Structures are given as structure tokens and as C-alpha cells.
Amino acid sequence: MIEISTSSAMLWLIFGVVLGIIFGMIPGLTATLAVILLVPFTYSMDTMTGMATLIGVYVGGVSGGLITAILINMPGTPSSVATSWDGFPLAKQGKAGKALGVAVTSSFIGTVLGWLALVTMAPLLSKVALVFGPMEYTAAILFGFSAVVTLSGGDVLKGLISTLIGLTLMLVGFDPLSGMQRATFGNSLLDGGISYIPALIGLFVLSEILTQLETIEEKYVVPKQELTNLFMTKQELKESIPNFIRCGAMGVGIGLLPGIGASFSNIVCYDQAKKASKDPDSFGKGNIQGIVASETANNATIGGALVPMIALGIPGDAVTAALLGGLMIKGITPGPLLIRDNPEVLYSIFNSLLISSFVMLVFMYAIGLRVFPKLLRLPKHVLLPAVLIMSFAGAYNIAFSVRDVWAAAFVGFIGYTFNKFKFPKTPCVIALVLGKSLETNLRNGLQYFDGSLLPLITRPYALVFVLLTLISISTPIIKYLKNKKAAQA
């Protein structure tokens, strides 16, 4: 073990976790932003302390989003979008304590599973990630799109319309390969396109604010909560084991794929948990397994994203890109020679991730789950304007662009319209998060293979994802036909 627990690094790690939780809790102020802002402050620190601080922020930022997702139905980060689908219904039932406890426990378990994968399988997993080409990424993203069928709220037509709206928004701005402007209609505000984080702020936060304004006569967003039953029972833990394992493994695997990350993993794993459930109809109404799936997956993604950064020097997402920059500032280049030349740095990353998970767990149970709900227990006329201001500030801080603020506002009205006409938001989210990557990889693959789609079934890893996609789509259809046959019998 490195000397992290007996040095100032421990204090900075705790500070990082707490700061990350606060950033993750506030819509728009993501873990990515927190890490980027803290990188300059690590210049004067030694490498161990700097990495401990940044890893702490990473873990805290991914975990913090669960608080607002559950309590006010406004996910603090894209990685907690799926957490709100069952967390908020539980809060509306007066069971916010149970939802928060399940989410924190699942976040902890997901981080530990990601740490185990990072420590034990980094070289092997990094080799798998290295052989992924554009067709493998295309097949993996198509697997993510298969969730549209299950998560369309029982109305596949509305789900497909929602998907098309998301893809249309994704197309605005510029062509990812040629760089040419497209679908801007001569409006300079659309030149940079609609980034998915401002879009998600609009779709989930601003639309929820508009919806809540319709019931402004109700003083609070959710009823007063008795924060009891914070800990999962032995029976709940036992029933959640398959979900922990499945979503932990999927979260790690998704973390390996550059540019996808926790925004993707929480939705896909929620979808798979729903498909595997004996009572899928209870999802979206307060089933704790939906929370388990989302929070286990997004935190397991942390360990997965660190694998290619450490083993290959390739960042798995925006946060690990910032971490990579923090290491290179110290004159350390991650990659195959890291364990030979700087083993102490490697072990500091391992230990920082594990210790951060425990710090997050202890802080949340001892302080966070008792303080943050009270802070959010404000009258609507105080809470909603405050969240509105923070949301616009968060949208602006993504790229320090007023365009992103306008984009968030525009998509917010689309989300409000979705609420009014009962259109599912999830398919639109999937299209926003994955659409650009799907287009880029598919077009690159077609160029590389002379326009042929055959590599999707002739390349082994791509074929695996294609088969998983077919299984994912057919499973709910088979269940529906069986239920219909049983009802007619």
C-alpha cells in the first residue's frame, strides 16, 4: 500500500470526494467539470496527492448525481439519468430514504467491482479494447440503441418518434468527418451543434421545472420524507446480487470503450435489468432494482475507463482525458511502461479508487443523506429558480458558450412537450448520447471496408454485439407474445 492513508493525500482525497459529490448533485456541474477545474490546483502537489484528489473528485462526481435524481427528478449528471426513473417514484411515495440508501450502496459496490477489474484484469481488458475498430464500436452502439424497444414506455411508435427527434437534434451543427455545416438553416447559434450535456440538462431538468410550475400551488416537489431504512436489508442485497454482477461487468466493459462512458452504461444496464426481471412492469414505478442497475453500472464504468488510460495511455472518457493531462504535467506518461518505470503511481491510482469508494460511502451515510435532502427540501418558489440558474450556469460552463444555454432552453421546451403528450424521453436521450458516435464509426467503417456491412457479422467482437442486439430486441417481443397467448388461454 502507498502512504496515502498517512499523508496529506488522504485529506485531499476526502476533499475531492466531497467536492465531487457537490458538483455531481448540481445539474450541469458534472464530474468532468470538477476534475478539469481542479487539475491546475494539483500543479504544486506531488503526484500521489494530485492523483488522489482527482480520483476522489471522479468518484464523488459520478455518485453525487443520484441525490437530485431521486429527490427532485432532476439528475445532477448524465450518468444518473436512469436512477431517477425509479428513484423519484419512490420519493413521491415517501420512500426517499430507501431509494437513497439503495443508490449509495450500489454506487459503492459498482466502484469496488470496477476497482477489482482495474487491478486484476487491466492488461487483458486493454488488449480487448485495442482491437476494437469502427465496426466493433458500431455494433456496440447498436446494442445500446436496442434499449429503445424496452424503454419506450409501452408505446413503441412514440419511442421511435422520440428517437428520430434525438437523431435530428444530433445532426445539427457540423459533419463529424468533413467538418461542413449542416442543418443550421443559416442560424449562427446552431453552428456548433447541440451538445448532449446541455441537451440532457434541458430534457430532464428544465422540462421538469416547467412541469413543476403547473402545480406551483403544491409547496414542495415531493412530500416530507422520513429518512429511515437507509440500509439495504439482507434479502434486498441477496436479490440484487445477479444485478450487481451483470451491471458491474457491463459497466466495466462499457468503460473500456472510449467516448461512451457512464452516460451510456446506466441506461443500457437499466434496460438489461428490466429485461431480466420477473416483474418488468414495476420498473419506472419504484422498483429498487432499477436504481441498483443504474448506480452499479455508472460507478463500475470508472474502473473500466481507467484501464485504457493506464495500460495504453488512451483516455476512456473526458474525465480520464483530464486525469491523463494531470499525469503528463508531472512528466509521467501512462502506458505499457508505467508499471516498470513508475509503479508507485500505478498503485496510488489503484488505492485512491478503492479508498474513494469507502470515503463516498461513509460521507453519504454519515452526512450527505442527512444534510442534502434538507437542503433540497425548499419551497418550489425558492428551489425551482435556484435550480434554473444553476442549470443555465452548468450548460454555459460546458464550453463557456451562450449557444449551449440556448440549446438547453430549446431542448427544455421539447422535453416539456414530451411530458405533456406522454412521449418517452429515454429514446431521445439514447439518440443524443450515442448518435454522433454511431454516425462517425459507421461511416468510418464503411469507408475502411469499401462500403460493406459484412464486417458486422464477420468480425468476432462485432458479431457478439450484433447477436446481443438481436437477443435484446427479441426478448421483450417474445415475453409480450407469451403473455398475450396466456391471456387468451
Instruction: Lowest mean pLDDT of 240-244, 280-284, 309-313, 460-464, name the range.
Output: 309-313
Q: Which sign does the torsion angle of CA 348, 354, 360, 362 carry?
A: negative
What is the model's pLDDT at position 153?
66
Residue 125 has pLDDT above 70, yes or no: no
Buried b (16+ CB within 10 A) or exposed e, 19-47: bbbbbbbbbbbbbbbbbbebbeebeebeb
Query: Whole-prediction pTM value?
Result: 0.83
What are the tens digits of pLDDT across the range 452-475? 999 999 999 899 989 988 988 887
Distance from first CA to last CA of the chain, Å, rounded? 63
Percent of the chain having pLDDT more than 90?
A: 35
How many angstroms separate the CA atoms of 7 and 42, rounded?
15
Least confident of 112-121, 247-256, 473-482: 473-482
Are 316 and 127 within 8 A, CB to CB? no
CB burial readout 304-338, b (16+ within 10 A) else e: bbbbbbbbbbbbbbbbbbbbbebbeebebebeeeb
pLDDT at 205 over 90: no
pLDDT tens-digit series, residues 285-295: 999 999 999 99
Distance CA 346, CA 62 (A): 22
- Cα torsion at 98, 100, 101, 102 (round to 10°)? 80
Estimate to the nearest angstrom the gap between the alpha carbon of 370 and the chain centroid: 24
Give the pLDDT confidence score for residue 1 in this predicted structure: 46
Strand residues in 23-163 grouped as ranges (E): none
Domain around 444: 3-488
Between 245 and 43, the higher pLDDT residue: 245
Average pLDDT of span 26-49: 79
Residues 386, 179 contacting (CB under 8 angstroms): no
Q: Which three cell numbers stand for residue 17?
A: 470526494
**Sheet strands (E) in 88-241:** 173-174, 181-182
Q: 321-358 pLDDT, tens per residue?
A: 778 777 877 778 776 667 677 788 888 888 999 999 99
> Residue 336 has what pLDDT?
67
Calculate mean pLDDT across residues 71-76: 88
pLDDT above 90 for 90 = yes
CB proximity list for 10: less than 8 A, separation 6 or greater: 4, 52, 355
pLDDT of residue 5: 52
Summarize the chain as % helix, strand, coil (round to 5).
75, 0, 25
| Domains of the chain: total | 1
pLDDT (0 to 100) of residue 58? 93
